[in-house]
Structure 1
């Protein structure tokens, strides 16, 4: 067998003059499937050497085989878990590990070597830019992995298929399947060019591919969609670009399932509030996504949890296994996440159902700081209900929860009762203060603000004076007990205002022709979920 190690122009001349078969395989770098053209390109021979070989009419689309690990160039979705919490977030993490023979054409090798001059020469000699090969990336995928934009453009100009899916059959390192003691290659994953560009965080390549007709929702076997890859890699710019160009924020695979989680849940898991907001603005499913609030609490992410609750996520949703009860609150209580506990309580976390079949919420009253948080919430809500009766925005169900003393000593009960009376008096005094004082320069009292429904709140938060006061830090000092509830009402009003502004922006031509009172009447029939669905429809059309 011929040996092509150290091949150069002089050796090529001698081989050709000796009359060797130009397509005969030889050995190069311990691989015995190279042709002389493969070897010359791989060894970075000068262009005159390549021209000399091409002058002998070789098979420019001949394939050689190269064996190696599939994961050596980060082909898989190895979404690194770098959030410093020592966990393995989910099944999407971890590298895709395996070995495979890959079939390389001379064009593949020229691309890996970034030899644009040879690529152009091969095209001039009928090299196939879309050569169909098993167990190997397409030529375009290979170019994307070099991150050479000029090379990618050259292939696209030559007609490279932007939606071709390359499949790999892999012999796994960790687990091999046997039949009569013979390893069986397992077809694991497919890769479209958009997957490779997204995984490499190459926004410029993503833009090139989309502009050339790449399908933003292309599905490849056992591989996530490009949008999900970008979310997992926390790449806001690519996520935004894909969404702007038609990526489906709620897309499932052909079997009707998500790969792992929906993109929204992965964004929460990655602690990226900016991406969470972006996905929701493009219609990410929130109504039936009980997992989202659960993940935010698991990640101890107060800001994301607060944002989800402001959107109206159910804080009493059953957990991922369908267990009933105050699951989000239970999770926060178990982790002693005090900020999130208070947030859940303000947003209506139910204190009445049992935490487990053997333990009710009452048991939590015996645990130090949790004792104080829960009792304070029950009392402040109880006093507020005494004054208002029923509120639309503020959940008052906790007022019905009994504060247990059954297992306490007599002395402890007396101390608790003194504290309860004292705190209840403080609540009364603060409510009276809210009744007396107006918000900023407005003529609306803090107390009356609490009593407004969502449609009225949307109007009042437009008042600059009210918005300045309730969005500032001074409110906590003025009303230490009820400031969180006041802020929560304010934020719900702001959300309503923002949703209406988006609708008005899209329908300005129509709404401007209607009397303002009619517009207000129309919007009064639409809940926030209705507005979100409407906005999603308007963006898609």
Structure 2
């Protein structure tokens, strides 16, 4: 029972231990705590003390700690101290009465009274007295002033000094200014120092105050205050102040440089102007990217890009995924004049990030002029990612002159020479899948040597694929004009008439056209051995059954 009610602490000559209590003293101690809890008068408490209770008895805490935890008034605390309550007692968390009073938010007059009793203001458990107050949601500046004026050490650490903690929590500006005005050593560091924390808080006034006193201006071995400020998105004024203090404008920061980090800044134009005026080395590379990669990616319409192109950058610098400046341009603004300028400056049109710049150019419809510009400057039309640029051209364009030029260029390549038949099959299949294809394009392919009798998409004929692709009647007519086989004699390909009724049964003009061209309505489909007439019969039967059901509803 004794062990449950009493808490042992390190031996202290000023406090009696549990073994020194007899049962009468033990019961008297409990009586004293109960009397305090019942708010007995001082006279009544004196009577209990006379009967054997001890003002320093320990029941998990002393009466003084108990009174503080119950947030009782100054008079009660004075009463205990006048009767020799032990102000030097610390609990098992190494907290003294001042720690406890701050922890339980007691009034400033109680804090002042405890300090006046010469309690150790710089005693530490896990925290100093200043840390306890600063760690509150609303620190009391008057208490902080009192603690500092009473000798609280601003350099004591619990990993952080009080000023570190104030900056980390970004407490009120008034408190931070107070601490800054009282701190003597500005070079104390933990993971961060006073300057880096003020930069993180984007406070120009705090930065200016710290720069007056901090002598160590090396952030750490891999970072600089300037790059950190730019990366953190600090105001231009803070960045300018750091430069004025002599920060290296070309300092590396984990592989990054101020000029590159500036491209991500909210006020990047002003910041770049500032850095350029200070003579920054703008031809820096990080992650294999230079400033042009970043500006074109994040600010593709900025005129600064064109100004920088004349400064001698490596136009063919590839970033970590292989993109050159031209790749990035084609993925973003596709500014024709800038593309022309990059080519004129020597952009390699066949460097790959798996795709060449020519691939990215051909992902969207393009005009003949820009196509010719790429071809004339050495772009290879047959380099493949999954497909070659030529395939993308045929998917996206219906300009006959562009297609003629691209096919003629393709026919010069090694790929065409080595696999002519396979190449034509894939190219013509691509053309047929493009709904903007014209009869003139079909004629050009035939004139160039394409064999329309080949099997194309999943073994189907070219006419079946055209019907599935939803080609217009004019293209279907053009294909039919080449006397294609419309009635496969073996079940190696579906019948065009079956594909038509399956894909677009409402298109009477198409079905009529196919029948007039010679499609056999009795030809059976490869998949389920059903003829066109059998299919019609089934559809009519289903229609009649649905009608009958609807009439009965």
| TM-score, normalised by the number of residues in structure 2 | 0.50
- Give the equivalent residue in structure 1 for 2:175: 205
Of 111, 115, 133, the match for 2:102 = 111
Map 1:63-78 onto structure 2 (within 5 A): 63-64=90-91
- Give the equivalent residue in structure 2 for 1:51: 78
**Cα distance change on mapping 1:123 and 1:108 into 2, 3 Å:** same
**Cα distance change on mapping 1:17 and 1:328 into 2, 3 Å:** farther
Query: Which residues of structure 2 form unaligned runs of 5+?
Result: 6-29, 351-356, 374-553
Of 229, 239, 261, the match for 1:295 = 261
Structure with higher RCO (Cα < 8 A, 6+ apart): 1
**Cα distance change on mapping 1:45 and 1:368 into 2, 3 Å:** closer
- Give the equivalent residue in structure 1 for 2:121: 129
1:48 Cα deviation (Å)?
1.2
Contact 2:263 2:291 in 1 (8 A): yes
Deviations 1:153-187 (A, max 9, x none): 2222222212111x2xxxxxxxxxxxxxxxxxxxx
Contact 2:282 2:291 in 1 (8 A): yes
1:238 maps to 2:202: no
Contact 2:315 2:345 in 1 (8 A): no
**Cα distance change on mapping 1:247 and 1:57 into 2, 3 Å:** farther
Q: What secondary structure is seen at the aligned counterpart in 2 of 1:338?
A: coil
Q: Larger deviation: 274-283 or 362-371? A: 362-371
Map 1:247-258 onto structure 2 (within 5 A): 248-252=216-220, 256=221, 258=223
1:50 Cα deviation (Å)?
0.7
- Give the equivalent residue in structure 1 for 2:153: 161
Q: Distance in 1 between the 2:308 and 2:192 partners?
A: 33
Contact 1:62 1:105 in 2 (8 A): yes
Deviations 1:487-537 (A, max 9, x none): xxxxxxxxxxxxxxxxxxxxxxxxxxxxxxxxxxxxxxxxxxxxxxxxxxx
Map 1:183-202 onto structure 2 (within 5 A): 190-199=159-168, 200-202=170-172
Map 1:329-478 onto structure 2 (within 5 A): 329-335=292-298, 337-339=300-302, 341-342=305-306, 344-345=308-309, 349-355=313-319, 358-364=322-328, 366-367=330-331, 369-372=333-336, 374-375=338-339, 400-401=345-346, 412-413=368-369
Of 218, 225, 235, the match for 2:193 = 225
**Cα distance change on mapping 1:278 and 1:414 into 2, 3 Å:** closer
- Give the equivalent residue in structure 2 for 1:139: 129
- Give the equivalent residue in structure 2 for 1:528: none
Aligned pair count? 322
Deviations 1:52-111 (A, max 9, x none): 11112222132336xxxxxxxxxxxxxxxxxxxxxxxxxxxxxxxxxxxx6432112333
Q: Larger deviation: 406-415 or 363-372? A: 406-415
Q: Distance in 2 between the 1:8 and 1:266 partners?
A: 58
1:216 Cα deviation (Å)?
1.6
Higher strand share: 1
Contact 2:231 2:261 in 1 (8 A): yes
1:24 Cα deviation (Å)?
3.4
1:36 Cα deviation (Å)?
1.9
Q: Distance in 2 between the 1:35 and 1:352 partners?
A: 77
1:142 Cα deviation (Å)?
2.6
1:269 Cα deviation (Å)?
2.3
Deviations 1:366-400 (A, max 9, x none): 44624436346559xxxxxxxxxxxxxxxxxxx74
Map 1:255-270 onto structure 2 (within 5 A): 256=221, 258=223, 262=225, 264-270=227-233
- Give the equivalent residue in structure 2 for 1:18: 48
- Give the equivalent residue in structure 1 for 2:185: 215
Q: Distance in 2 between the 1:345 and 1:301 partners?
A: 21
Q: Distance in 1 between the 2:88 and 2:308 partners?
A: 63
Larger Rg belongs to: 2
**Cα distance change on mapping 1:415 and 1:202 into 2, 3 Å:** same
- Give the equivalent residue in structure 2 for 1:318: 285
1:335 Cα deviation (Å)?
4.2
**Cα distance change on mapping 1:404 and 1:270 into 2, 3 Å:** closer
Contact 1:114 1:148 in 2 (8 A): no
Q: Larger deviation: 288-297 or 338-347? A: 338-347
Q: Distance in 2 between the 1:343 and 1:416 partners?
A: 26
Contact 2:230 2:265 in 1 (8 A): no
**Cα distance change on mapping 1:55 and 1:6 into 2, 3 Å:** closer
**Cα distance change on mapping 1:149 and 1:271 into 2, 3 Å:** closer
Give the RMSD, CA atoms, in angstroms.
3.9
**Cα distance change on mapping 1:49 and 1:352 into 2, 3 Å:** same
Q: Distance in 2 between the 1:144 and 1:365 partners?
A: 51
